[in-house]
Structure 1
C-alpha cells in the first residue's frame, strides 16, 4: 500500500447549489497527484488543494497526445452513504489504455487507493439529489520536457472531481443521431479500444457537423468498409431487433464500456438473447424499414442509458419506436441507476462503499 500525503486547503470553496449543477464545470477543493520517472517509478503520492499544474511547454503530452483517462462517479444513497460503481473496471481499463500508448501504467491497487482516498476526503461534495453525482476524472500523461519522440520516462497521474447534475435536464429523453459517412473513429490495430484524448479530438469535426444539422451525436462506422456500426458519440450502442439485443463486438476498434458490460449482464438475466457481433448499417436500415427495429440506445458513464428516437443516414431520417423510450431501455436505466444510487439491491457486488 502506498503512502499518500494529504495537504488540506486553507480556503474551502462554497458548495454549489445542486439545482444549478452542470456537467464538469465545478471542481472540488482537492486533487490527487503522483509522479513517475524511470529511476524511481511512481512516487510522491499526494492529495493537495485543487490548483493549476505547472508543466514545461515541451512536455510530450502537448505535442504527441501521450495521455489516457477514465471517467466514473461517486453516488450518495438516500441513507447518506457514498459509493462507487465498479471502479476496479476503470482501473483495469486505464492500465490497458496506458499499455497501448506506451505510458507508464498505474497499478490497479494504487488507482483504487488513490481514488477512494480522494472521494473519502471530498465526501461532502457528493450531491444529495438523485441523478446528481460526483464525477471523477483520473488521467495519466507524459511530462518528458523534450520534443524528441522516444520512450516515455516521466509521467504524472492525476484525479480531479466535479459535482455534476443529471445528464438529462428533463428526464431520460430520446436523442437524434446522425450516421457519419466520411470520417471514421478507429481502425483495427489503432487506439479505438483505448480511452485516450486523440480518439475524441478526431471526432470533433463530425460531431460539429452533426450539431449544426440538429443532431445530438454521431454514429460511427468501421474504418475499412464504412458499413459496420461501432459506437455512438462517446457511448457504446445497442439495438433491439426482432426481440434480440445486438451490440457491436469488441474487436479493438470499440471502447470496452463498463456500462455496456453491465447492461449485457442485466439483459441476460432478464432473459434476452444478446448477440455481440458485427452489425452493418444496411441491416439496421432494413430493420427500420420492415419494422423489426424496436429500440436503439447508447450506454456510457455520463448518460447511463440514452434512448435514440431519430436516426439519420444519407440525407434520410428514420424514427425509432415513435420517438418514445422503449421498455427495455427504460428497464436498463431504472436498474442501473437504482443500483448506483442505492435504491436497488446490489446482487452483483458492483458497489464499493467509501468510508
Structure 2
C-alpha cells in the first residue's frame, strides 16, 4: 500500500457502476465515479481533493481555450492474478508529463500529487477496474491553463485533473493505414515530442480524410521531404524487416512512447536485433515487395499492440502477412499482458501496486 496524500475526499452518494455493461465497453465513453483535482496559483499547488466526477465550470476567457496550454497523459490500471490493482509504468508517464509541461510553459506537477494522488483515486474506484481480457481502467491525467485573460503569455493559474474510465480494446481488429505525404503532424523544433492537445487537434483533419477513404489511420512522414516514417495516429510504429526490429528514433517530432520503450527493452532481452534509426517509406515498400517485411504494428498505451494488415503508398495497396502468424508482435503482446497480470516476473519494476 502507498501512503496517501492528506487531501479532502468527497465520495459520490451513489455509485453509477451498476448501470455499466462491462461486457460492452466502448473506449473513452464510460467514466468512473470520482476525479482528482488540484489547482495552481501564486506559485504553488493547492486545493487538492478527490470529488465526484462531474462537469467543471470556467469563464469563456479561460486561457486554455484561446492559446492552447493543455497537456495530458494516458496510462492503464489492471487487476493482477491476486486481485490487486496495479498500474503499468506510471513513473514514466509522470516524467513525460512534466517534460510536456516544461515545453508548454506550464508548472511541473509534484510527484506526490501525480503518483500518490492518482493511486488514492484508483484505490477509491478499485471496483471500476475490469477483470477481463483486453480491458483495463484507462487513466487520464491532464492540465490546462485557467487565467481569465486575453493575451498571449503563459498563464499564472492552472488546473490538474485525473479521471478514469473502464475501457475495452482501442482497435478491435487489424488496421489499414496509408502513408501521409501531404499533411504533417509535427516539425523539427516543434512540440511533437510533447503530449500537447494541439498535436492531436492538428492531426484530425488528415486522419478524417484518410478515414473517408477507408483507412483506420495514417502513418505520418517527416514534414520537410515526406520520405521518412515518423509515427501512426495514436501509436509509435514498428517493423520486422530481415528478422530485425526496426523503428524510427524518438526525437523532437516523435512522441517517446512508453509502450514503445517496453517493447524495445523486451526485444533486446530476447536477443532480437533492434534498430532505432530513420526508416524511409521506400525502404518499407521495397521490403514488402521483396517479402522481407514480416510484421508491421503500432504500439501505444491505448492500443498496446495493434497489427497493421495493409499499408497504402500513393495509389498502391500492400497486403501484409497474416497478423495471426506474426511471431514477435504477438509474443510480446502476450508477454506484456503477463507482466501486468503477474503471471510473469516483473524484472524491470514496471508494475506499481496501488
TM bin, normalised by shorter chain, reads over 0.9
Alignment of 1:80-91 (within 5 A): 80-91=83-94
Unaligned runs of 5+ residues in structure 1 are none
Is the CA contact 2:5–2:112 (under 8 Å) kept in the aligned structure 1? no
Q: Write the distance in 2 (CA, Å) between the matches of 1:167 and 1:327.
A: 22
Is the CA contact 1:104–1:152 (under 8 Å) kept in the aligned structure 2? no
Is the CA contact 1:84–1:353 (under 8 Å) kept in the aligned structure 2? yes
Is the CA contact 2:138–2:165 (under 8 Å) kept in the aligned structure 1? yes
Aligned to 1:198: 198
Shift of 1:107: 1.8
Q: Write the distance in 2 (CA, Å) between the matches of 1:204 and 1:151.
A: 25
Aligned to 1:63: 66
Shift of 1:168: 4.5
Aligned to 2:112: 109
Query: Of the candidates 12, 19, 25, which is equivalent to residue 15 of structure 2?
Result: 12
Q: Write the distance in 2 (CA, Å) between the matches of 1:13 and 1:81.
A: 22
Alignment of 1:1-355 (within 5 A): 3-15=6-18, 16-37=20-41, 39-169=42-172, 173-322=173-322, 324-354=324-354
Shift of 1:55: 0.9
Worse-matched range after superposition: 173-182 or 186-195 = 173-182
Is the CA contact 2:309–2:320 (under 8 Å) kept in the aligned structure 1? yes
Unaligned runs of 5+ residues in structure 2 are none
Is the CA contact 2:171–2:306 (under 8 Å) kept in the aligned structure 1? no
SS in 2 for 1:135: strand
Shift of 1:40: 4.6
TM, length-normalised to structure 1: 0.96
State the Cα deviation string for residues 31-81 of structure 1 (Å, max 9, x = none). Answer: 0000001x2511111001111111111111111111000000110123211
Is the CA contact 1:95–1:108 (under 8 Å) kept in the aligned structure 2? no
Q: Write the distance in 2 (CA, Å) between the matches of 1:313 and 1:36.
A: 47
TM, length-normalised to structure 2: 0.96
Shift of 1:166: 2.7
Q: Write the distance in 1 (CA, Å) between the matches of 2:128 and 2:5.
A: 25
State the Cα deviation string for residues 122-154 of structure 1 (Å, max 9, x = none). Answer: 101111212211110000010011111112200
State the Cα deviation string for residues 183-215 of structure 1 (Å, max 9, x = none). Answer: 000111100000011111111111111111111
Q: Write the distance in 2 (CA, Å) between the matches of 1:187 and 1:340.
A: 35
Shift of 1:216: 1.0
SS in 2 for 1:159: strand
